[in-house]
Structure 1
Amino acid sequence: MKFIEEIVVEEFLPTFRSMLAEDLRNRGFTQHEVAEALGISQSAVSKYAHGDISRRDVVVTDEDVKALVNQIGTGLTAGDMSRVQALIESEVLIRRLEAGGVITRLHEESMPEVAEHDGYSRIHDPEGGLRTSEQIRSSLRRALRRLTNTTGFAEFIPNVGSNLVACLPDATTVDDVAGVPGRIFDVKGNTTVPGDPEFGVSEHVASVLLTARANGFEFNSAINIYYDVDIIEQLSNAGYDTVEFDPDAAGDPIQTAFSSMASNNITISETEAEAQPVACYQTGGYGIEPVIYILASDTDTIIEIVQELLVPKTRG
């Protein structure tokens, strides 16, 4: 009797790890960096590099395995993927391959009789909460890298700082929204991101996003930027809805603004696949800095708007 978990440990993982080590080495990682990234010893990396670990050809040539090795290698190299996400994606693939892929075939090879039964297939949720959270943080890392590489964006960071946020599919509280801890700042003309994206660190921009969602807008990302009448004009000319609110108004002015937008049918149409971006802004008040909030369906759309419509302008 041989358990499928034994196949994973003895037949699959040595080949999979050696493929990951080889991929990272080809991307310029040192032996020490490979060991640190994969959580294995340098001696193990050395064995992989020198071919001291036998590899199963059926695993090496499997398209799903090759695709994940490339995804993890790309993500770890760029810094978009954490070790946690790499582990989760690997676990998801293993569960899938156990239920009808190369691991199943290896199991059947070891115990031909299991091919007659489907009972060893295990229930696994590939869309689990932790995986989704890591994917959102990954999308934020990519977007923030694009933002820091966008020449001139620092000019549009308010004095209080900016934040770029993204939320879980069913977000209802700030803990369901990921953002930059400490906000994004202009440091001598450079866009500076002080830390890795985390959930629950942006009460301000996160609250704006959550308020929009509570009023029926299918937005999953938002950013706040410096207010300028020319920026609002650019956004409006580009076809985006722009709505002003009064920060000194009684009650919750953000709630009032989005409630008004919803009642005026400024929202997703029945024929559109996703919510169209909007800009909500205020021109300042007593002790309140003017600001623009741009909300969209995803971080990529936010960055595209910033790059195409905002960066060419300057505060002058």
Structure 2
Amino acid sequence: MSLVLPSEIIVERFLPTVRAMLAGRLEEQGLTQQEIADNLGVAQAAVSKYVNGRATVEERFRDDPRTVATVDRIADGMAAADMDGYDALVELFELIQEFEDRGPICELHEAEMPALRGLGCDLCVRGVDTEIREEREALASVRNAARILATVPGMADHVPNVGTNTGTALPDATDVTDVGAVPGRIYTVGGRVEVPANPEFGASHHVATTILAANEADPDLRGAVNVATRDPLLAASHDRGIEPLEFDADYDDRSERLRKLFREHGVPRVIYHRGAFGVEPITYVFGVTAVEAAELAAELVAAADRDSPR
């Protein structure tokens, strides 16, 4: 994906177009090319290019009535010596702000960066939106965690039959829609871990409710991965100074029961259950983000496979 800043469009397309239009208007007002150059702060050779139609202009700016009106005001003011460079900058800056708010600058920016289309980007107008940044960071964490799970040797053997998932909660998350995860879960095909889709918020109920319960007790923990419960993996946790916490496999009121458990015992980085009728044994590995959880899970899987009898 190309990386283009809106400021590049302003410098490379908006300003040359406006200068060319101003040069033409000022010439019509009777100013010499040197006088026009002095007003615009450019060389006389550049003015010659502008007035002779040899400059490249952007039609979206040139043909916009707002540009025409602004250029006319500036040209009239400069010709009458009623407007100085500062006044002209104020006029142009106000026009740029209009054009950045879903205007020609925004349109050209989306044309240069097609990935922005449909996002309702208003970065130029509102600045960096903290909530949007946090959402993007959470989804990026899940995406990177899924990539880790898909590339770790031996991970496929630790994916439960029902599939696995990984998630990251937003700061101050309150429900499952505040937790990003992989839709449809991560599964294995032919001994490989397959990630079926890009992460979305609200895509996982079980991982999300587990993360939310842990996060309520320990706000630093916002990520998790679930894998199959295996004794070698639990032993690898012990070896790393992690005391896995066992919990009831029953799904009824699991969220509240986990919250109670975490209030009483804290939140270790590994919790597990041994399964129940129709419920596969599952282990959850926690981290500050999904990436940290996936990295710890990868370490435990590697240690478990290394220490397991062949």
Instruction: Give yes or no for TM over 0.5.
Output: yes
> Hey, what's the Cα distance between the residues in 1 that align with 2:302 and 2:12?
48
Match among 135, 141, 153 for residue 139 of structure 1: 141
- Answer yes or no: is 1:236 the counterpart of 2:268: no
- Quick one: structure 1 residues 229 and 258, their matched pair in 2 at CA, closer, same or farther if it must change by over 3 Å? farther
**Counterpart for residue 10 of structure 1:** 10
> Hey, what's the Cα distance between the residues in 2 that align with 1:311 and 1:289?
22
> Alignment identity in percent?
29
- Quick one: structure 1 residues 131 and 311, their matched pair in 2 at CA, closer, same or farther if it must change by over 3 Å? same
Matched position secondary structure for 1:241: coil
- Quick one: structure 1 residues 53 and 288, their matched pair in 2 at CA, closer, same or farther if it must change by over 3 Å? farther
**Structure 1 stretch displaced more, 157-166 or 234-243:** 234-243
**Counterpart for residue 304 of structure 1:** 295
Matched position secondary structure for 1:286: coil
> Hey, what's the Cα distance between the residues in 2 that align with 1:313 and 1:14?
61
**Counterpart for residue 161 of structure 1:** 163
- Quick one: structure 1 residues 218 and 53, their matched pair in 2 at CA, closer, same or farther if it must change by over 3 Å? farther
TM, length-normalised to structure 2: 0.58
**Counterpart for residue 270 of structure 2:** 279
Please say if residues 236 and 303 of structure 2, whose CA atoms lie closer than 8 Å, have aligned partners that are also in contact.
Answer: no
Q: Deviations over 1:239-278 (max 9, x none)?
A: 22311012249x63453344233323x35xxxxxxxxx51
**Counterpart for residue 27 of structure 1:** none
Per the TM alignment, residue 299 of structure 1 is displaced from its structure 2 partner at its CA by 2.2
Residue identity in the other structure for 1:128: T
> Hey, what's the Cα distance between the residues in 2 that align with 1:133 and 1:311?
31
> Hey, what's the Cα distance between the residues in 2 that align with 1:181 and 1:7?
37
> Hey, what's the Cα distance between the residues in 2 that align with 1:311 and 1:83?
37
- Quick one: structure 1 residues 153 and 12, their matched pair in 2 at CA, closer, same or farther if it must change by over 3 Å? farther
- Quick one: structure 1 residues 220 and 231, their matched pair in 2 at CA, closer, same or farther if it must change by over 3 Å? same
Please say if residues 214 and 262 of structure 2, whose CA atoms lie closer than 8 Å, have aligned partners that are also in contact.
Answer: no
Per the TM alignment, residue 129 of structure 1 is displaced from its structure 2 partner at its CA by 2.0
Say how many residue pairs are matched: 207
Structure possessing the higher radius of gyration over alpha carbons: 2
- Quick one: structure 1 residues 53 and 247, their matched pair in 2 at CA, closer, same or farther if it must change by over 3 Å? farther
**Structure 1 stretch displaced more, 251-260 or 137-146:** 251-260
- Answer yes or no: is 1:255 the counterpart of 2:287: no
- Quick one: structure 1 residues 166 and 10, their matched pair in 2 at CA, closer, same or farther if it must change by over 3 Å? same
Give the root-mean-square deviation of aligned CA atoms.
3.3
> Hey, what's the Cα distance between the residues in 2 that align with 1:298 and 1:230?
24
> Hey, what's the Cα distance between the residues in 1 that align with 2:219 and 2:272?
16
Per the TM alignment, residue 9 of structure 1 is displaced from its structure 2 partner at its CA by 4.2
TM, length-normalised to structure 1: 0.57
> Hey, what's the Cα distance between the residues in 2 that align with 1:279 and 1:128?
31
Please say if residues 243 and 257 of structure 1, whose CA atoms lie closer than 8 Å, have aligned partners that are also in contact.
Answer: no
Normalized per residue, which structure has more helix? 2
Runs of at least 5 residues in structure 1 that lack an aligned partner in the other structure: 1-5, 16-51, 55-81, 96-121, 268-276
1:112-191 maps to which residues of 2 (within 5 A)?
124-191=126-193
Residue identity in the other structure for 2:281: P
> Hey, what's the Cα distance between the residues in 1 that align with 2:284 and 2:128?
33
